Every structure is written in C-alpha cells, then in structure tokens.
C-alpha cells in the first residue's frame, strides 16, 4: 500500500478548547480541515508505531466521513490497529473504557458533546491519551502549535472500512477491528453496581424515564436498563441515535428536558427521571418533585457511594471543578478524605485519579464520574443513583432532604449568556479582574463581606504544573461565592458563565426557591460585572 503525502496549508483556528476542537460542521467540511487536525495530533505524539488507536463518536452528522479520513491517516502514520465502534459509535465514557481495557495508545473521540448536530450544527474531535482521559494541556498546546505550521499530511488510497460489520478488516497494512460499542461498557457497569438489587427495585414497581435525546446513550440505556436490569420497555425514550439528534439540543438540563421535568413534578409522573447528552458523559437527575442540582448530586453520590459494591471500602477523595458548589467539600470533610478544587474541564481530574488521590469527581455542568474511566460518565451516575435508591429504599426527595439536614444546603445556580460579542465579553472579564485587588474586606448589603477575590490558579499536586486565569472568583465570609468565566466550548461569539452559590447551615431554611435564595448575589454580580448593562441582554440565555 502506497502512503501518500499530501500538501496542505495551515488553518489559523485549530486551537483545542475545554474539550477538543469544536467547530461548525461547515468549518470541518473545508478540504483538509480534518486531515490537518488529525495529522497535527499524530505529529505531537511519540511511540505509537504498531500500537492501537481507538476511534468512535456520538453519531452526529459528519461522524462517518471524519472517521474514514481518520482511519486512513492512522494507517498511513503507522498505527498497527484501529478499534472502532460499530457504525462509528462509542459514547465518550465507553471510548475511555475501551482505550483502558485494550491498553490502546490513545483514542479519537468525535463529538461536540451537548452542542446541536446536523449539517448546521457542530462537530468536534478530541484526542484522549492511554489512561483513557482527555489529553493534558502540554499535548493540546503542542497540537495547536503544529496546526499553525503543518504543510503536509499522510494518508492512503484505500476504500472505506465497512463500519457496520463487526469483526476484523484492513485499511492498508493496518488492522481495523469494528467492535460492539456497548458490550465492554455494559460489562464494566455490571462489575461496579449491585445489578440484582436494581433489578429488584424495578421488579417492585419503581418507575423511571430515561431520555437519551436521540443521542449516543440510546443503545447503552436500552441494553443496560431495559435489558440487564429489567426496566419495562419504554423506560428509555428517544433511544435511537440520529445524526441531527432529531433536531433537538442534546444538553440534559431543565431547558432542553423541560417536558420530562414537568412530568416528574406531577403525582402521576415516574419515580425517577434521568437524561444524558450528545456523547453520553453528562447526566440529569430528577426525582419525583425534586430536581437534584449536579453539584448536590456529586455530594450525594460521594456520601452514598459505599452502598455500591465498587466503592464499598470507601472513596479515597473527591475532586470538583472550581465553579462547582462546595457541597461535596462538606462530605469530604466529614469522611476525612482529600478534597481537590480544579479548573473547569475533565482533563484536570486525570492526574488525581491516576495517582489514586480521588475516586469521585464532578462538575456543576452535569458531569460526574469515578476512577472506573477517565471521562465523566452519564449512565454511571444514573446507575449509582439507582443502586443507592435500591439500597436505601427512600425517594430521591427524602434522600436529598436528609443530606441537607446533615450537611447544610448550598443553594446554587449558573446563568449563561450565550453568543455574546467576544470583544464585549473579554473586556467585561478584564474589567472585573482589575477590580479584584480592591474587593477583599469590602461589605455589600447586610451580610456579604468579601473574604477573597482572585483569578483562579491551579497547582496540580501530582505533576506540579500550574494553570492560571481559570476564572474570576469572589468569595464571601459566609461561604457565598460569585464566579465568572468565559466558556471554552462555544463555537459562536463568547459565552459568559456566571456561577452563584450561597450556603445555608444544616439547621437553616432549605425550602427556598433557588433564584430567590440567590437574589442578593445575582444583584451584586450585576453591580460588579455589569453583564446585562454591557451586553444589552435582559436575562440569561440559560439558567441551570
Ligand atoms: C463546559 C462545562 C465544563 C465541561 C465542558 C465539557 O465547558 O462548563 O464543565 O467540562 O463543557 O463538557 P465550558 O464551555 O464552560 O468551557
Ligand atoms: Zn458531553
């Protein structure tokens, strides 16, 4: 097989963001765009000759085209084997597991996560390393540097691989194994959780709705929930992955899962509602009459993890991203285990997990996971919740209330302002940053006194690296916080994320509406940052 070296010219916009390179499909469709980026990744790696590369995606539009290109490039660049999910499918956590399980060199995860798909939607490519987690910054920085100077890529003139056919094929000299995307992952879940107990829960009449949002988790949820765990057929809805997610927005939050939320708030609704996003790493958890915020869910899962077989000996520690509420910190303190605050993005958890310093990690953006893989894992969170419900035999609402009565409640919300003019957003954050040195000690209203104000810098305790400018945070003496940062995953303009948190002690009032409880902080953040005033928006695009 002849290897072709094709001349190309660099694209200026191939800088990986929080989670790989996400762009509009039309950007990815430009000639050589995929090839340049994948070649830049390979050029930034060493020692993969003859090794295995895992490839899979969330099934969105352009997945199939990009995968065929990536396979040809992998072959030409000397990989020995590619393992690819049937029809190009692999959820992000399943891809992480396959990389680890088969000791692959790394993997390409093709997804734009919760962003809409289809010809007018988004596409993305992310490189994961051999531990199954997203490449650390030193690799993504090298990839970006390479994209700026790349002048050729290597490919082969070979026919498309039959992605629908499970089994072994060849692409040039390289072996291509098309694998069942669900089987290994489902076996992993079965090894972590008490499946007989969960089967018993469903057998006792417990009802659930799982919304796969026409994205990747459909086949996994069908196989695990309705197959292995005996949940009635129909428990999983929107379970067939579609290239445009059925024209929906596969982000499992209260905006895009509003109909399910409304149903859960009625007496006739199911006992438990859950959803996952485009690539299967996020989760939404709603009990009857009780939405569980992702930050609370992290704390609750950590506090109850010992009820599942995998964690019965306890957890080593917890990590959360900086903007995530401090609810989990209180659990860690009570358990006497390590607690780590990291920058936004799952890649920062990898070192802590590899070093065995933490077992459970989470982000306020509906991401929770553990040391079983190196990505957040939507179905894992749902199954751990089910395991806990099966053992505790209480409702979600009762478990949440008991948790607050023990640890106190961290009222928490995030206000997103999407597609804001990038220059305005950048200036707004710069101006707030400039105010930070003058804030500590200042009082606002009756009980808000600033304890600290800074731009978060993370010092990785495992490899000693430092990541600066990870978000502006203003902390108050009563534990309240205002956090502001710019999204690193948006594809149009800038997205401003404003995170607000207030702590109410164990014996305090836990029954307030979240937005009402946070009203003084919402008003103060407008005084300090002026988002509405400067952007001309009257309200956030999304409130979670
Ligand atoms: C967002 C979330 C972050 C998550 C990332 C990838 O990043 O905020 O927690 O890890 O998506 O799913 P952001 O757009 O804020 O940079
Ligand atoms: Zn995702």
Q: What is the predicted pLDDT for the residue at 279?
A: 97
All CATH 3.40.120.10 domain ranges in the chain, comma separated: 3-180, 185-407
CATH superfamily of 409-543: Alpha-D-phosphohexomutase, C-terminal domain (3.30.310.50)
The arithmetic mean of pLDDT across residues 452-456, rounded, is 95
* Greatest distance between any 2 Cα atoms in the chain: 75
All CATH 3.30.310.50 domain ranges in the chain, comma separated: 409-543
SS (H, E, C) 10-67: CCCCCCCECCEEEEEHHHHCCCCHHHHHHHHHHHCCCCCCCCEEEEEECCCCCHHHHH
Strand order in the sheet with 81-89: 21-24, 122-128, 106-110, 52-57, 81-89, 174-179, 167-171
The tens digit of pLDDT for each residue in 321-362 reads: 999 999 999 999 999 999 999 999 988 999 999 999 999 999
The arithmetic mean of pLDDT across residues 5-20, rounded, is 93
Q: What are phi and psi of 203, to 5 degrees?
A: -65, -25
Phi/psi region, residue 398 (left: phi>0; alpha: psi -120 to 50; beta: rest), is: alpha
Q: What is the predicted pLDDT for the residue at 496?
A: 94
Q: Is the pLDDT of residue 382 over 80?
A: yes
Measured in Å, residue 489 CA sits from the centre of ligand 1 at 6
Percent of the chain scoring above 90 in pLDDT: 91
Categorize the per-residue pLDDT at 446 as very low, low, confident or very high, splitting at 50, 70 and 90: confident
Q: Is the pLDDT of residue 376 over 80?
A: yes
Q: What is the predicted pLDDT for the residue at 157?
A: 95
Which amino acids are annotated catalytic? 113
- Decide whether any atom of ligand 1 lies within 6 Å of the 368 Cβ: no
The arithmetic mean of pLDDT across residues 395-424, rounded, is 95
Q: What is the predicted pLDDT for the residue at 447?
A: 83
The tens digit of pLDDT for each residue in 89-134 reads: 999 999 999 999 999 999 999 999 999 999 999 999 999 999 999 9
515 three-class SS: helix
**What topology does CATH give the domain 3-180?**
Alpha-D-Glucose-1,6-Bisphosphate; Chain A, domain 3 (3.40.120)
* Paired residues of 57 in beta bridges: 89, 110
389 three-class SS: helix
* Paired residues of 125 in beta bridges: 21, 110
Instruction: Evaluate whether 384 touches 305 at the Cβ level (below 8 Å).
Output: yes
d(CA 68, CA 55): 10
* Least distant ligand from the CA of 251: 2
Measured in Å, residue 398 CA sits from the centre of ligand 1 at 30
The tens digit of pLDDT for each residue in 410-419 reads: 999 999 999 9
* Least distant ligand from the CA of 361: 1
Measured in Å, residue 58 CA sits from the centre of ligand 2 at 9
Please state the separation of Cα 482 from the chain's center in Å: 22
Q: Is the pLDDT of residue 363 over 90?
A: yes
**What topology does CATH give the domain 185-407?**
Alpha-D-Glucose-1,6-Bisphosphate; Chain A, domain 3 (3.40.120)
- Neighbouring residues of the ion ligand 2, judged by CB less than 5 Å: 113, 277, 279, 281-282
CA dihedral 233, 235, 241, 246 (to 10 degrees): 120
Nearest Cα to 338, choosing from 323, 353, 324, 322? 353
């Amino acid at each position: 097989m002849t290897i072709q070296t094709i001349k190309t010219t660099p694209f200026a916009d191939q800088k990986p963001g929080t989670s790989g390179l996400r762009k509009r499909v039309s950007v990815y469709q430009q000639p050589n765009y995929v090839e340049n980026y994948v070649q830049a990744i390979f050029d930034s790696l060493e020692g993969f000759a003859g090794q295995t590369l895992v490839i899979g995606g969330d099934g969105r539009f352009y997945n199939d085209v990009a995968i065929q290109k990536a396979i040809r490039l992998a072959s030409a660049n000397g990989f020995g084997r590619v393992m690819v999910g049937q029809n190009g499918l692999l959820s992000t956590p399943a891809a992480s597991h396959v990389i680890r399980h088969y000791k692959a060199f790394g993997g390409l995860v093709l997804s734009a996560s919760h962003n809409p798909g289809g010809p007018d939607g988004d596409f993305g490519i992310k490189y994961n390393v051999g531990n199954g987690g997203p490449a650390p910054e030193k690799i993504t920085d090298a990839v970006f540097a390479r994209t700026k100077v790349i002048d050729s890529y290597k490919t082969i003139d070979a026919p498309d691989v039959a992605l629908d056919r499970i089994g072994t094929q060849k692409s040039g000299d390289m072996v291509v194994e098309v694998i069942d995307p669900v089987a290994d992952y489902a076996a992993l879940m079965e090894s972590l959780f008490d499946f007989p107990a969960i089967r018993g829960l469903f057998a006792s009449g417990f009802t659930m709705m799982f919304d796969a949002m026409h994205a990747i988790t459909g086949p996994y949820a069908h196989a695990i929930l309705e197959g292995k765990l005996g949940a009635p057929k129909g428990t999983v809805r929107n379970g067939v992955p579609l290239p445009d997610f059925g024209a929906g927005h596969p982000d499992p939050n209260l905006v895009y899962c509003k109909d399910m939320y409304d149903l859960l708030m009625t007496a006739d609704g199911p006992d438990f509602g859950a959803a996952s996003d485009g690539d299967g790493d996020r989760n939404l958890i709603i009990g009857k009459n009780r939405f569980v915020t992702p930050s609370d869910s992290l704390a609750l899962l950590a506090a109850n993890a010992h009820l599942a077989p995998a964690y019965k000996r306890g957890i080593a520690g917890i990590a959360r991203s900086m903007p995530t509420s401090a609810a989990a910190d209180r659990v860690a303190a009570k358990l006497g285990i390590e607690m780590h605050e990291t920058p936004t993005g799952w890649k920062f958890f990898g070192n802590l997990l590899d070093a065995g310093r933490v077992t459970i990690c989470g982000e306020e953006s509906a991401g929770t996971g553990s040391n079983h893989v190196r990505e957040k894992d939507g179905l894992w969170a749902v199954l751990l919740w089910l395991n806990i419900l099966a053992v505790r035999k209480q409702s979600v609402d009762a478990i949440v209330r008991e948790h607050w009565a023990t640890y106190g409640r961290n009222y928490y919300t995030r206000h997103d302002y999407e597609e804001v003019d990038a220059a305005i957003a950048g200036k707004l954050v710069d101006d707030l940053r400039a105010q930070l040195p003058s804030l500590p000690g200042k009082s606002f209203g009756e009980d808000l006194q600033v304890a600290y104000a800074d731009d978060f810098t993370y010092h990785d305790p495992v490899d000693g690296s430092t990541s600066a400018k990870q978000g502006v945070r203003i902390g108050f003496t009563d534990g309240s916080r205002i956090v502001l940062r710019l999204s690193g995953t948006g594809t149009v303009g800038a997205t401003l994320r404003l995170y607000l948190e207030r702590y109410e002690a164990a014996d305090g009032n836990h029954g307030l509406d979240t937005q009402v409880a946070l009203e003084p902080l919402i008003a103060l953040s407008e005084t300090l940052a002026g988002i509405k005033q400067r952007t001309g928006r009257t309200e956030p695009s999304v409130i979670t």
